[in-house]
Structure 1
Amino acid sequence: MSAASGKHDTWFRRFQSASSGAVKLVALPHAGGSAPYFLPLARALAPELDVLCVQYPGRQDRYREPLVESLDSLADQLYDALTAEPPQQLVLFGHSMGAVLAFELGRRIERDGGGELLGVIASGRRAPCRHREETVHLRDDDGLVGEIRELSGTDPGVFDDEELLRMVLPALRADYRAVETYRYQPGEPLRAPISTLTGESDTRVTLEEARAWGELTSGSFQFRSFPGGHFYLNGHQAAVTEAIRESVAAFRLAAASAKP
């Protein structure tokens, strides 16, 4: 494993080397998640894609750093980290909270430059323009643990280790607060295409809410669903990997076709 090179390397983890000139796929984890969650995906996509897995502050090796304050602030910080390097072709892939973050990061890239956004792949999250009132971040610790147990996306061993559990709860609560207090601000749709992946039995995202991502791009839109719940991708690694490959190939073709 290595961090991405450069001034802001605390933000990114590169688990596999990539071919020269490979498109960078920035992988943004769910609430409470960390960069190693995408390790299997990074290995499966290498070397054709250069997968940069995002490490949010307040966890693992960034444990002592200030926690996430808001999704907009997190998007601003990530944009600064990502654009510290020379401009490059980028695909943003986010799961759950990471999907909303990918959208906001994509907005900043298209508005301010600093890279060529080929496309956004949004997984396991309703479109930002479809609001639900949620208050998980206001629950007590037991209520917060109950939420992550229900979603079945966390290693069960975490629940058996009281000390570890207490260490991760502050970051988890901060992430939930950030995504639950986020409010979509209407504006120009992304020019880059969007692909959406979702679990067919995800109680946190209806199929209509997932398809609404198509309203947020003036480019093409593709929708795929998989058997399973919120963490459907854990049980369909090969299919999800192939879906990402196909989306990136379509993004690259669209970008090439648009150039004079």
Structure 2
Amino acid sequence: MIGEPQQLDLAPWIKRFPGEPGTATIVFPHAGGAAAAYRNFARALTAHGVDTFIMQYPQRGERLAEPPAESVTDLARDMLDAVDWAGLGPVRLFGHCMGALVGFEFARLAEQRGVGVRELWASASQAPATVAGSSPVPTTDSGLLADIVDLGGTDASLLDDEDFLELLLPAVRSDYQAFNRYTCGREVRVAADIHAVGGRSDHRVEPDLLRAWECHTDGAFTLTMFDGGHFYVDDHLDEVAELVSCT
């Protein structure tokens, strides 16, 4: 049975799915992703007793009118400033794709402030130190559309909807620009354990890029692979939720 969740003054752009006290897990969406895309995952986590918080980045949902963040670190700082996370005990972080980089920067900043972070689940994401040496992601409309199609995970019929694209493309562009500006040295580490997770058929984030996360932790490191592509989580909601909740 889920106990009474701690009462928090949350901004409307933070979506909470209450679970057991002491299990706070913060979910950071992928580039261009809205909080709504992670509702099913949050429900799966809650079924395992996890107190789940999904973050919403600027340029979408309730934050549509807000200016984009200049950097991945700015996004992380925004998320850290939003709640008294220290009052929830050591937290878990789960970030998908660019969200894992946001989670890493969140962990780094949190440690500087004395906020406990137990572990970071880096899902379908290249390690921070590999970003600067990789090719920049596109930011033109045509390039963004091609990249979205290549990654999968978006209903193809929606990509023919001009109103949907009018909302989607600015959000993706702002996140991609933040990603392109990101740099991090191999020497930058966090105390939290890092667990890399990916899809065996993900042609964008291969196992070597996931393994590179190991250099960024002073704690434990694990690598877990599931069948599927870049958005493998959608096909393994309960299995991933169980994995995250059992540590």
Question: Which residue does the alignment assign to 1:38?
Answer: 38
In the alignment, is residue 9 of structure 1 matched against residue 11 of structure 2? yes
- Deviations for 1:138-177, whole angstroms, at most 9, x for unmatched residues? 3x21221111011111132321211121222111101011
Distance in 1 separating the partners of 2:86 and 2:155:
34
Report deviation, 1:22.
3.5
Say which is worse superposed, 79-88 or 154-163, in terms of deviation. Answer: 79-88
Matches within 5 A, 1:130-141: 130-131=130-131, 132-138=133-139, 140-141=140-141
Question: Which residue does the alignment assign to 2:191?
Answer: 191
How much is the aligned-residue C-alpha RMSD, in angstroms? Answer: 1.9
Q: In structure 2, list runs of 5 or more residues that go unmatched.
A: 1-6
Question: Which residue does the alignment assign to 1:252?
Answer: none
Matches within 5 A, 1:179-218: 179-218=179-218
Sort the Cα spacing of 1:151 and 1:44 in 2 relative to 1 into closer, same or farther, 3 A. same
- Deviations for 1:208-242, whole angstroms, at most 9, x for unmatched residues? 11011111111111110111211111122222122
Say which is worse superposed, 207-216 or 232-241, in terms of deviation. Answer: 232-241
Question: Which residue does the alignment assign to 1:112?
Answer: 113
Provide the identity percentage.
36
**Which TM-score applies when normalising by structure 2?**
0.90
Distance in 2 separating the partners of 1:55 and 1:214:
27
Give the letter aligned to residue 204 of structure 1. Answer: R
Sort the Cα spacing of 1:202 and 1:84 in 2 relative to 1 into closer, same or farther, 3 A. closer
Question: Which residue does the alignment assign to 1:155?
Answer: 155
In the alignment, is residue 144 of structure 1 matched against residue 144 of structure 2? yes
**Which TM-score applies when normalising by structure 1?**
0.85
Distance in 2 separating the partners of 1:130 and 1:155:
30
Tell me which stretches of 4 or more aligned residues in structure 1 moved more than 4 Å: none
Question: Which residue does the alignment assign to 2:173?
Answer: 173
Question: Which residue does the alignment assign to 1:127?
Answer: 127
**Aligned residue pairs: how many?**
239
Question: Which residue does the alignment assign to 1:81?
Answer: 82
Q: In structure 1, list runs of 5 or more residues that go unmatched.
A: 250-260
**Which one scores higher on RCO, CA 8 angstroms, separation ≥ 6?**
2
The answer as to whether partners of 2:190 and 2:217 remain within 8 angstroms in 1 is yes
